[in-house]
Structure 1
Amino acid sequence: MKKLSSQEEYEWIREETVEMLLDKRQGIRVENFLPNRFTHYCKMIHPLYRDPQIQDEHLLWSECTPKQAEAIQLGERVRLAALAKKYEVDCSKELSAASLMQKLNAVPRYLITGDEGEIEPDSLNALVRVLHQFSGKESCCFWYEGLKMEEYAAALFHGKLSEVMELSTRAGLRGTPTYWWPANKAWCVYTDTDLDFSVIAGSHELIEALVADDFLECFACDVATLMI
């Protein structure tokens, strides 16, 4: 893995996304973050977990004692689609953990929502496994925005796809890259510091493979899908 002195390789993303300051529509959409050259997109939900200590599913985070709020345990994984069905939340392209909060006006304490700005290791491994099928031997670029850098200065790295696992644990970097893509730009992954899901762009075949993956929880979306 090599840190590049120039960020020129990142410029295609800036050039091919819809600039938010010029977008007069309400809300922020997929096309405000990902290049518009792609034909298909999906959201990858960062895993949610059940806290086995909490038996009362009606207890909300806002009602917790300080001890209940601090002593967190990650139990079994919970699928967002199953939670949407349970709480009668519309399973639309905009579905996220925030959808539960909007429906319930809070989040139940027994639920631990996904990490913001980071893809946890098991999901990262599963994602790399799928992406590898569509990358061949292409090298990849990994871009970190300033908020994910200890020195608050954006940085661009270059290396093998598999090296993203090592990169995400490197000192001075916070979580997984903001953007990463192969040299042939066959796909692009975006992880926002404030969102508990990532968005991936690529071919129809790639998105189908991600949605069908048994471990990952991915939902097809499009450039007009609201992110926030």
Structure 2
Amino acid sequence: MDKFEISSNALEIAISGSPGDWVVAETNGAKYTIGSLLPNSFLAYARVFHPVYLGDQEVKWAKVAHRNGTVAHPLMQWESITGSWRYSRGDTQHDVWDECPSVGSLPVSQAKRLAHLLARHTSTVDECWFAVWSGFGGLEARWGHAPRVAMPRREMMLLSGPLPAAARSVEDSPGDQRANLWWPDDQAWCLVTDIDLMTTYVGGSPECIASITTDSALEAMPVLVDQGITLDSDKVNPQPSGSYNDAG
């Protein structure tokens, strides 16, 4: 059994916030771009789409786009491929999916798969850092004394542990929230799931990113660090008419 498989899954409060200094210093892209979420120093980046579900079955965004006559591409947005704001507010397309993508937390199956892939691209599998947004109300009792990482848009609480801990929830049951930002001690790559987004971004070497974008268990596409992350970033599929608030 390899080192990755036998590592403990424990998460602990970091001794200081200094391991996050490089992330803060190198996350300096224009507002609402990938570079505003991740260090800009990597040679390649990927966008990982959180799956939707039909019962217990994972469904990829590409299938949803096909169902709606829209185009799957690296900058697609959920509202644009479904064609309606209401599909972010509880409505479903029961012939394709009945649970929309998770927002702000990487699903456990994707977290496990990404951790497995990323383990091949770091020399510090047992020494990793996990940051979680300090604004989550249910985390104060458990992690409130954690040192802070002053990310440009979100102050984070810093935890440490081995890479497999990425799949662990930082909330007590029945909560299910994974860390928003993680990286190995050797800084070989970095991953972020912003609290407002249905997708996760990863920066790393070209080889690292290729292992993610070609993995059949994930729906991931290569992106550029200066590309947008907002609803209007999809220039291929039109936004639905009206606004998000109209779907209430």
- TM bin (shorter chain): 0.7 to 0.9
Q: Give 2:165's aligned residue.
A: 163
Match for 2:59 among 57, 61, 78?
A: 78
Q: Which runs of 5+ in 1 are unaligned?
A: 51-73
Shift of 1:19: 5.9
- Aligned equivalent of 1:33: 37
Residue aligning to 2:204: 202
Matched letter for residue 193 of structure 2: T
Q: Does 1:128 align with 2:128?
A: no
Aligned match of 2:223: 221
The CA RMSD over aligned residues, in Å, is: 2.3
Q: Which residue of 1 aligns with 2:185?
A: 183
Q: Is the 8 A contact 1:80 1:96 kept in 2?
A: no
Paired with 1:169 and 1:32, the residues of 2 have a C-alpha distance of: 24
- CA deviations over 1:141-198 (Å, ceiling 9, x no partner): 11112123622954211121112223x2543986111110011111101011111111
Match of 1:140 among 128, 138, 147: 128
Residue 31 of structure 2 is aligned to residue 43 of structure 1: no
Aligned match for 1:91, one of 63, 72, 97 = 72
User: C-alpha offsets along residues 76-135 of structure 1, whole Å, 9 cap, x if unaligned?
Assistant: 32211122233232333211323224x345425223211111112211111111011112
Q: 1:137 offset after TM fit, Å?
A: 3.7
Distance 1:141 1:175 in 2: 16
Q: TM-score, normalised by structure 2?
A: 0.72
* Aligned partner letter, 2:102: D
Which stretch of structure 1 is more off in the superposition, 90-99 or 31-40? Answer: 90-99
Task: Work out the CA distance in 2 between the residues paired with 1:114 and 1:11.
Answer: 31
Aligned length: 197
The one-letter code sitting in structure 2 at the alignment partner of 1:186 is A
AA aligned to 1:98 is E
Q: Distance in 2 between matches of 1:77 and 1:157?
A: 30
Kept in 2: contact 1:148–1:175 (CA 8 A): no
Instruction: Structure 2: give runs of 5+ residues left out of the alignment.
Output: 1-10, 145-155, 231-248
Equivalent residue in structure 2 for 1:12, among 15, 19, 22: 22
Q: Distance in 2 between matches of 1:158 and 1:186?
A: 16
- Normalized against structure 1, the TM-score is what? 0.77
Asked whether the equivalents of residues 3 and 157 of structure 1 are also in contact (C-alpha less than 8 Å), the reply is: yes
The Cα of 1:7 is off from its aligned counterpart by: 1.2
Q: Tell me which moved more, 147-156 or 123-132.
A: 147-156
Which 4+ residue blocks in structure 1 deviate beyond 6 angstroms? none
Separation (CA, whole Å) in 1 of partners of 2:131 and 2:12: 12
| Residue identity (%) | 22
